[in-house]
Structure 1
Amino acid sequence: MKSIQTAFRILLKVEKEKAYADKLLENLRGGSLVNLPFITELVNGTIRWQLRLDWQIQNSIHKKINKLQTKLRIILRLGIYQLLFIESLEKEVIVNESVNLAKKELGSHWGNFVNAVLRNFEENTDYPKDVVRRISIEHSHPEWIVERWLSEFGELKTIDLCKVDNERPKITFRLNKTIFTEEQLFLELSRDFCKKTEIKDFYEVFTFRQIKPFLIKGLASIQNTSAGIPSILLDPQKGERILDACCAPGGKLTHIAELSNCEAEIIGLDKFEAKQKLINQNIKRLGLSNIALVAGNATEFSYKDKFDKIIADVPCSGLGVLNKRVDMRWKRKNEDVEKITKVQSAILENLAKNLKKGGVLVYCTCSIDSRENEEIVHKFLVKHPEFEIESAKGKVPKEFLTEEGFVRTFQYQSNFDGSFAAKLVKTA
């Protein structure tokens, strides 16, 4: 009962206070809750499948679902999520715990209501015929995202994207090659539980527990495989002055330092000074000595000297990482993307001024929306003929290359998030 109560409390905060589920779950770590994995499953699963759950609830009651009070709606979502997706639990247990929760939160009348809905529940798979509504409800994504992906990628790829967004994310990490090698890794971790990815120095493990000792010792960092690509394109070298213009939470920043073997001068810039403490902890954990942090806005930042290389991991919609940021799909709106692209363009414009002639600028996002990716780069190149695209050919597997030489990964590709990266060279 305690697990479902905790999950209920978190979901209530997400719904009523617009809180972030991952932050609330993170706050539980280190506490006395034995069932944290189950609570995490309940919270993340209920949020991911929210639209489909609401469809099922609507088909099981006589009144409009949006007329139900928030607490009741959440209790029904939790109950139906468990009935549909958690096979290890008996229906009797799910119903009884949901009823008890409803009685505690709302009184006996609503406990009886929940009992009737869940005991009589049968899944309705007669989804709407309209392709947008069908995919939206069946795969639990907002209609605007489905419409956008259908227009860009077609129906089959859209369904594939939606499916993987509803799966648990895979755990990938990179080695800190300044102090640890692949040979040492496989002496300590069986190849049965750890496998190479398509990107050098990145690996996939089955559970967080397997990699935790390496993280504590600073031998590795949790990072998605796709997030390693921009640093590889940047190709940091000894003696170069390099700027990571939007550096929090520090994954690419520390990767660049490792790739340079701590022999490049690296500046990490981020708008929020409060994030520097966490980044500094990570730098210290990894034993890196060539990074300086600066608080500032990438749309206005200027430095006393120009940079040899700049990486711009710009703020984006996050549409390539919806399986990790489970509530993002419900928080984002189509108009948000239009606002974000203005910020992305402004950042690129300002960073161009801070780059030396012959310098390299890598632009990247964790979005798969072309408005934030190819369109931003194309508009920038029209205004800045002194920049040209350098193809990523030879740096990444060919299945991730676009015709123009950009890198685009999709979240249904093995252990990758959805992402984009473009390498630009300042020729004049």
Structure 2
Amino acid sequence: MRRLEAYNVLSDVEFRDRHAHLVLKEKEMDPKSQAFVSALVYTVLQHSLFLDYQFQDLVDAKLPKEVALVIKMACAQYFKMDDVPDYALVNEYVELTKTIGKKRYSGVVNAVLKKVIKRGLRPIEETGLKRASIEYSMPLWILNLLSKQYDEKFAIDYAIYCQEIKPSYVRINTLKDYPLDMSYFDEYNNALIAKSELFRSDYLENGVVLIQDINSQKVVPFMNLEDNLEVLDCCCGPGTKTSHIAALMNNTGQIDGVELHQSRADKTSELMERVGATNATIITSDVLEYQTDKKYDRILLDAPCSGLGVLSHKHDLRYHIKPEDLDALVLLQADMLDHVATLLEVDGILVYATCTLNRKENEKQVEAFLARNSNYELLESELCNPMETLGDGFYIAQCRRTC
């Protein structure tokens, strides 16, 4: 039963704080079922707050969360997916309620869904950020944060942007001499976009091209790389930027990639092999515990962050991250910056990058780092505005060690 599979994925995401793409990878389904389940799961996640709003006034606050999830899934199909006859929709989700062991609530589900269908879209009576939070399923605290740090228009525009379909940007791997059919790509703002034909080719499998956001591709060039440098790549998994470093150094020099999680370290090593990068050594370690007598010419700290810049394609992240998480991340980033700053050669370059729009993790973080480390100076920085670039929100700072 495909809806049961979708329910199981969503319950892992909503009740066990797992990531949807990882749970979906674990499922063994035929292609047709995989397509339906993935579509239903991501539709629910993309429109979660909007869907809740469509039935919350019709149910008791004590309704079990599992039953509320079933109703939300039905609303996702009814409001956001292909047409299903009303009677069939209600029947399918009443049966799902029974299947998950909540038979006593099957009558509630039946009654609520019939009321939802009869009413149609529930008018949103809120205004401003509160309305945008419901309409575009963006947690209100995120909108309040962005409104305070930028302005209300930026916050609402970003919420709208996160509900739109984005291009799949690609980067050509220059380490492989492989004939490319450029008809597989479109071009936007000096970046390549994958056409559907690319995913039916062997280019990705053979490491000829990599999927990488247009703004993520800007990070490594900030390192001002040359051949034969010693490079430290911190938090390197899953390796997309590591492979970019290898390419820009033409497989010369040495890259030490440090990654905390073994699974991500393994993926990075696998990617290095696929793209033909032979100058990278991947080390499983906490960055804060990484010690070496070596001094590096370049260091990249692609720091752990709140991820508020990538919510357009990581819809579950907007519900996982909490306001109280931000302060802990800021402290972790500061500790990492101070630690890796001791590993850089004089006149070397340290690049700090995040995929968030939170200024405390970005500009404010770098300002505080420079205040603590008088032997560093800021050469250049860039905040990549998602709406202007049609990419993810990124912040990149290039710092030089002066003495």
TM-score normalised to the size of structure 2? 0.93
Q: Which amino acid aligns with 2:164?
A: E
Matched pairs, number: 400
Q: Give the conservation status (yes or no) of the 8 Å contact 2:309–2:393.
A: yes
Deviation, structure 1 residue 189: 4.5
Q: Give the conservation status (yes or no) of the 8 Å contact 1:269–1:296.
A: yes
Q: Which residue of 1 aligns with 2:46?
A: 48
Deviation, structure 1 residue 362: 0.5
1:356-397 residue CA offsets vs partner (Å, 9 max, x unmatched): 111001000010110000001001111222222223xxxxxx
Q: Which residue of 2 aligns with 1:198?
A: 189
Farther-moved stretch of structure 1 (73-82 vs 102-111): 102-111
Deviation, structure 1 residue 85: 0.9
1:133-189 residue CA offsets vs partner (Å, 9 max, x unmatched): 2222222122211110111222222112112223344322211112247xx43xx24
Farther-moved stretch of structure 1 (89-98 vs 335-344): 89-98
Tell me how far apart the structure 1 counterparts of residues 132 and 328 of structure 2 sit (CA, whole Å): 26
For the pair 1:268 / 2:257, whether they are aligned, the reply is yes
The structure 1 residue matched to 2:143, chosen from 143, 146, 154, is: 146
Q: Which residue of 2 aligns with 1:102?
A: 97
Q: Give the conservation status (yes or no) of the 8 Å contact 1:235–1:259.
A: no
Q: Which amino acid aligns with 1:422?
A: A
Q: Which residue of 2 aligns with 1:224?
A: 213
Q: Which amino acid aligns with 1:219?
A: V
Tell me how far apart the structure 2 counterparts of residues 208 and 426 of structure 1 sit (CA, whole Å): 46
Cα gap change, 1:354 to 1:206, in 2 (>3 Å)? same
Q: Which residue of 2 aligns with 1:74?
A: 69
Tell me how far apart the structure 1 counterparts of residues 274 and 83 of structure 2 sit (CA, whole Å): 39
For the pair 1:341 / 2:336, whether they are aligned, the reply is no
Tell me how far apart the structure 1 counterparts of residues 197 and 163 of structure 2 sit (CA, whole Å): 19
Q: Which amino acid aligns with 2:271?
A: N
Q: Give the conservation status (yes or no) of the 8 Å contact 1:205–1:211.
A: no
Tell me how far apart the structure 2 counterparts of residues 307 and 28 of structure 1 sit (CA, whole Å): 43
Q: Which residue of 1 aligns with 2:108?
A: 113
Q: Which residue of 2 aligns with 1:3?
A: 2
Q: Give the conservation status (yes or no) of the 8 Å contact 1:197–1:415.
A: no
DSSP-derived class of the 2:332 partner? helix
The structure 2 residue matched to 1:281, chosen from 251, 270, 287, is: 270
Cα gap change, 1:273 to 1:104, in 2 (>3 Å)? closer
Deviation, structure 1 residue 253: 0.6
Q: What pairs with 1:244-259 in structure 2 (closer than 5 Å)? A: 244-259=233-248
Q: What pairs with 1:28-427 in structure 2 (closer than 5 Å)? A: 28=27, 31-59=29-57, 61-64=58-61, 67-106=62-101, 110-121=105-116, 122-129=120-127, 131-180=128-177, 184-185=179-180, 188-190=181-183, 194-199=185-190, 202-207=191-196, 210=199, 213-391=202-380, 406-427=381-402
Cα gap change, 1:377 to 1:229, in 2 (>3 Å)? same
Deviation, structure 1 residue 108: 5.6
Tell me how far apart the structure 2 counterparts of residues 320 and 212 of structure 1 sit (CA, whole Å): 30
Tell me how far apart the structure 1 counterparts of residues 367 and 374 of structure 2 sit (CA, whole Å): 11
Tell me how far apart the structure 1 counterparts of residues 263 and 144 of structure 2 sit (CA, whole Å): 37
Q: Give the conservation status (yes or no) of the 8 Å contact 1:171–1:207.
A: no
What percent of counterpart residues are identical?
Answer: 26
Q: Which amino acid aligns with 1:68?
A: L
Q: Which amino acid aligns with 1:179?
A: K
Deviation, structure 1 residue 88: 4.1
Q: Give the conservation status (yes or no) of the 8 Å contact 1:204–1:415.
A: no
Tell me how far apart the structure 1 counterparts of residues 336 and 287 of structure 2 sit (CA, whole Å): 6
Superposed CA RMSD: 2.0
DSSP-derived class of the 2:169 partner? strand
Cα gap change, 1:336 to 1:212, in 2 (>3 Å)? farther
Tell me how far apart the structure 1 counterparts of residues 88 and 214 of structure 2 sit (CA, whole Å): 40
Deviation, structure 1 residue 354: 0.5
Q: Which residue of 1 aligns with 2:14?
A: 15
Cα gap change, 1:421 to 1:164, in 2 (>3 Å)? same
Tell me how far apart the structure 2 counterparts of residues 328 and 238 of structure 1 sit (CA, whole Å): 38
TM-score normalised to the size of structure 1? 0.88
Deviation, structure 1 residue 102: 2.1
Deviation, structure 1 residue 240: 0.7
Deviation, structure 1 residue 287: 1.1
Q: Give the conservation status (yes or no) of the 8 Å contact 2:309–2:356.
A: yes
DSSP-derived class of the 2:289 partner? coil
1:37-91 residue CA offsets vs partner (Å, 9 max, x unmatched): 22112111212222221111113x1522xx1112211110011111111144443
For the pair 1:25 / 2:45, whether they are aligned, the reply is no
Deviation, structure 1 residue 244: 0.2
Tell me how far apart the structure 1 counterparts of residues 332 and 78 of structure 2 sit (CA, whole Å): 43
Give the unaligned 5+ runs of structure 2.
none
DSSP-derived class of the 2:397 partner? strand
Q: Which amino acid aligns with 1:324?
A: H
Flag as ranges the 4+ runs of structure 1 deviating above 6 A. none
1:9-51 residue CA offsets vs partner (Å, 9 max, x unmatched): 111222332222111112236x434232221121112122222
